[in-house]
Structure 1
Amino acid sequence: MALSATVHRIRPEAAEEVAEVLGEGPADLGGLSGTGLFVQEDTVVRVFHHGEGDGGAVELIGREDEKRLAPYLREGGAPVPMVRVQSRFIEDRPAGLAALRYKVKPGYEKEIGEVFAQVQAEARPTLRGDKGQETGVIIGVGLFVKDDNMIRVVMFDGELDDVARYMSKRGGRPEMEKKLAPYMAETRHVETPEQFLEQFKANTMRCAHRSRRAEP
């Protein structure tokens, strides 16, 4: 399985209307496992969960999105495939989906990918509540970069607050933040877990729609 993403530039004042226009999602998933539509300010991101051979279905939905979004797009805002620099699945099953948006300096896809490639992956990233109780697990992650946008996609079984808590306490996070700093185009105050949680909320895109293929 894999994750893919496209990004659209819209007029910022049209964000609410765009969420309504695309709120029903694609009429036909075309064999994809699912999609998610996320909106923040002047950016719309469509995330696809699919098999490695389903590129045609991804392109079809992208073209449908472009037609429906045409009245709201900024000049040059047609859907553009994002560069996938990371995609990892721990399990293949239905899961929650979240997208976090970060502003980066254009042209550093390779360097950003190398930073994340150095992070030691856990075999089973377990989510825990505020009292330490197990509440779920991260199912998969994807990282995408295009121009000045970096999108972090997380598939999870549990609560988004627990995903944020897991990431805030992740071993090696401070070192990773230092390595990412030269490529960021936004100021991030994430020295403590509490600061990280606030930044996590600010970077989380609003989910306007989610479609999943019906289980057989």
Structure 2
Amino acid sequence: MPFAAITYDIKPGFEAELTEIFGNFRRVRSDKVRTETGEEAGRILATAVFLRDDTMVRVIEYQGDLDAVARHMASQPGVREVEASLKPYLSRPRDTDTVEGFVATFRRSLLNTVAQISVRDAPPAA
């Protein structure tokens, strides 16, 4: 299962506030990711957020099409609330008020995958 990681450029010194924002996160309505026509395009399996100094990283484990995952996230009330709550703490603004802006920001913030290893990818033990 692939992982994606997106970065946020933040103002340092707000660790408690950022932790509270994500601590109050409302989960997405469903882990199933659907296209605009309702077809299943993937699933969001897990997310995690990491923070140090002026960098925050959100890691997403998913199945399916990453673009569809980004579009799905853009429409979720909890994600929209977090993005709005983060605005005062960002050192570089993010255009996430619309689905198109969120997806474009997601793509720009995406880290390149260098390596990804999981026991789920290993062949069964003999």
TM-score, structure 1 as length reference: 0.52
8 Å CA contact 2:28–2:78 kept in 1: the answer is no
Aligned residue for 2:34? Answer: 128
How do residues 1-216 of structure 1 correspond to structure 2 at under 5 angstroms?
95-122=1-28, 124-213=30-119, 214-216=122-124
Find the aligned partners of 1:148 and 1:128 in 2 and give their Cα distance. Answer: 34
CA offsets, 1:103-157, max 9 Å, x none? 1111222211211222221474211124221122111110000011100000011
One-letter identity of the residue aligned with 1:147: D
Could you say what the CA RMSD is over the residues aligned between the two structures, in angstroms? 1.7
- CA distance change for structure 1 residues 201 and 212 in 2, over 3 Å: closer, same or farther? same
Find the aligned partners of 2:10 and 2:44 in 1 and give their Cα distance. Answer: 25
- CA distance change for structure 1 residues 144 and 196 in 2, over 3 Å: closer, same or farther? same
Segments of 5+ residues of structure 2 without an aligned counterpart are: none
One-letter identity of the residue aligned with 2:43: V
User: Considering only CA atoms, is the larger Rg found in Structure 1 or Structure 2?
Assistant: 1
Identity, % of aligned positions: 34
TM-score, structure 2 as length reference: 0.86
Higher relative contact order (CA 8 A, sep 6+): 2
If each structure's strand is expressed as a fraction of its own residues, which one has the higher value?
Answer: 1
Find the aligned partners of 1:215 and 1:162 in 2 and give their Cα distance. Answer: 29
Segments of 5+ residues of structure 1 without an aligned counterpart are: 1-94
Aligned-partner SS, 1:185: coil
Of 183-192 and 125-134, the range deviating more from structure 2: 125-134
- CA distance change for structure 1 residues 193 and 184 in 2, over 3 Å: closer, same or farther? same
